[in-house]
């Protein structure tokens, strides 16, 4: 089996897809895994800007049929790399229209498709998740409750929902992503620092908070990466 394709999804702006993607990239690289980043937010490619000089990256428009063709071909040409797809807020439309292109080629690619679906505490996160699961039925979906919006018990809509039962019945996990202190998170975006660069250039106290957060991220995402 070739290395997996990871999708950092959520199909809403502001739920925390980008920080989840960054945590995933760092966790994989810390385990000596090579990563190919696919940035599909072509209008505002923040994560691509942070990592384009450190790892192999591609900008692909997944609102267009040609983008999905390009995605499959790139995955096929790089079987040894872990593919991490950072999705745009609008991408559910493209998934619904063209996701079958990827879904139907997973066996030929000899890859597993693993989705980390990041949610806040609002209902539309869950409604969009159902659409996504219908469009990509061959993906294992794990739901990531973004701790920025509160502790696990505050995600009542998800915790008590039918969609949670559906996710877990299909082998997915319900995870809680740790919160990173605002001043450190702001540093990453305002200074356009990858996590590796931040660990070298931020002040000591900021680096200590980032180290704490990365340790928690490894515990959470390790449940997915390590199977």
How far is 139 from 119, CA to CA, in rounded Å? Answer: 17
The pLDDT score that the predictor gives to residue 91 is 72
Q: Which of 71, 68, 69, 86 is nearest to 10 (CA)?
A: 86
Contact 210, 195 (CB under 8 A): yes
Confidence category of residue 226, pLDDT binned at 50, 70, 90: confident
Average pLDDT (31-39) is 97
Q: Percentage of the chain with pLDDT > 90? A: 86
Question: Which residue has better confidence, 27 or 90?
Answer: 27
CATH number at residue 134: 3.40.50.300
Q: Which of 77, 106, 107, 87 is nearest to 38 (CA)?
A: 87
* C-beta atoms surrounding 16 within 10 Å: 24
Number of domains in the chain: 1
| Sign of torsion over alpha carbons 29, 32, 36, 40 | negative
Name the residue with tokens 């931020």.
202
The pLDDT score that the predictor gives to residue 195 is 96
How far is 54 from 121, CA to CA, in rounded Å? Answer: 34
Q: Which of 139, 146, 149, 143 is nearest to 126 (CA)?
A: 143
pTM: 0.95
What average pLDDT does the structure give for the chain?
A: 94
Domain that holds residue 38: 5-225
Q: Per-residue pLDDT tens for 7-18?
A: 999 877 889 999
Give the residue ranges of DSSP H helices in 31-77: 46-51, 65-77
The pLDDT score that the predictor gives to residue 12 is 75
Does residue 92 surpass a pLDDT of 90? no
Does residue 227 surpass a pLDDT of 70? no
User: Number of C-alpha atoms within 13 angstroms, CB side, residue 77?
Assistant: 9
Confidence category of residue 126, pLDDT binned at 50, 70, 90: confident
Contact 22, 47 (CB under 8 A): yes
How far is 61 from 56, CA to CA, in rounded Å? Answer: 17
Contact 83, 226 (CB under 8 A): no
């Amino acid at each position: 089996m070739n290395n997996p394709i990871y999708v950092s999804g959520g199909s809403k702006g502001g739920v925390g897809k980008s920080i989840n993607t960054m945590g995933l990239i760092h966790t994989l690289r810390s385990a000596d895994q090579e990563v190919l980043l696919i940035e599909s937010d072509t209008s505002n490619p923040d994560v691509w800007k942070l990592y384009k000089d450190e790892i192999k990256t591609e900008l692909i428009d997944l609102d267009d049929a040609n983008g999905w063709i390009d995605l499959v071909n790139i995955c096929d040409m790089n079987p040894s790399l872990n593919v991490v797809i950072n999705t745009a807020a609008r991408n559910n439309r493209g998934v619904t229209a063209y996701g079958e292109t990827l879904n139907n080629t997973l066996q030929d690619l000899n890859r597993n498709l693993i989705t980390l679906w990041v949610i806040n505490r609002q209902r539309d996160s869950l409604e969009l998740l159902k659409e996504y699961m219908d469009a990509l039925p061959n993906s294992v979906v794990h739901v990531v409750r973004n701790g920025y919006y509160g502790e696990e018990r505050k995600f009542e809509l998800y915790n008590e929902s039918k969609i949670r039962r559906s996710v877990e019945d299909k082998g997915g996990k319900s995870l809680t992503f740790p919160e990173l202190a605002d001043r450190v998170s702001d540093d990453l975006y305002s200074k356009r620092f990858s996590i590796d660069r931040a660990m070298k250039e931020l002040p000591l106290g900021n680096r200590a908070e980032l180290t704490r957060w990365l340790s928690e991220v490894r515990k959470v995402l390790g449940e997915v990466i390590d199977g």
